[in-house]
Amino acid sequence: MIISFTGTRSGMTPRQKEAFFRFIKKDSSGEFHHGDCIGADFDAHQIVSKINKHRIVIHPCDIVYMRAFCVGDEILKPRKPLTRNEIMVDLCEILFATPGEFLEKQRGGTWFTIRYARKTSKPLIIIFPDGSTIQENFQKI
């Protein structure tokens, strides 16, 4: 499975980290894509690296001060943040998002990426700051 991740540069809350860990440990293997930003991308990278079942693909942005400089199995060429977020959504089979707030904001990369995933009907799991989740666009079986 190809998983992409987006989250706030403020980092995940402890409850977001716990919820993300519970979801990601269930996935047997595949690829994990993230944007290499400071904050939640770095947090997710650390969690996935500890589980060590996923090939990690890094999509860095071209704004150096925002980068976490994580080391993965593949590091792609830097791109503008919103462009690389669209690429990650287009490539994935599911998107995990950890916004810094409960209500959608018009500005910010995390909510932009959530809106793009909705627009493209990608399966999406939003993990809110308190660890609660919403799952969208999953096919009914």
- Residue 122 C-beta-side C-alpha neighbours within 13 Å: 26
The percent of residues in the chain predicted with pLDDT above 70, rounded, is 98
Confidence class for position 140, pLDDT limits 50, 70, 90 = low
* Mean pLDDT to the nearest integer, 33-52: 95
Domain ranges of the chain: 2-136
What CATH class is the domain 2-136?
A: alpha beta
pLDDT at 141 over 50: no
70: CB partners within 8 A, 6+ apart: 34, 36, 41, 42, 45, 56, 58
* Mean pLDDT to the nearest integer, 20-44: 93
Q: By mean pLDDT, which of 9-13, 28-32, 42-46, 85-89 is the weakest?
A: 28-32
Q: Which position has the higher pLDDT, 37 or 103?
A: 37
Question: pTM for the full model?
Answer: 0.94
Burial of 70 (0-12, 13-18, 19+ CB in 10 A): buried
Length of the chain in terms of residues written: 141
Read off the pLDDT of residues 60-111 as tens digits, 9 standing for 90 and up: 999 999 999 999 999 999 999 999 999 999 999 999 999 999 988 888 899 9
Q: What is the DSSP string of 3-42?
A: EEEEE-TT---HHHHHHHHHHHHHS-SEEEEE--BTTHHH
pLDDT at 136 over 50: yes
| Identity of the amino acid at 105 | K
Euclidean distance between CA atoms 18 and 22, whole angstroms? 6
Across the chain, what does the average pLDDT equal? 94
Among candidate residues 94, 93, 99, the one with its CA nearest the CA of residue 6: 99
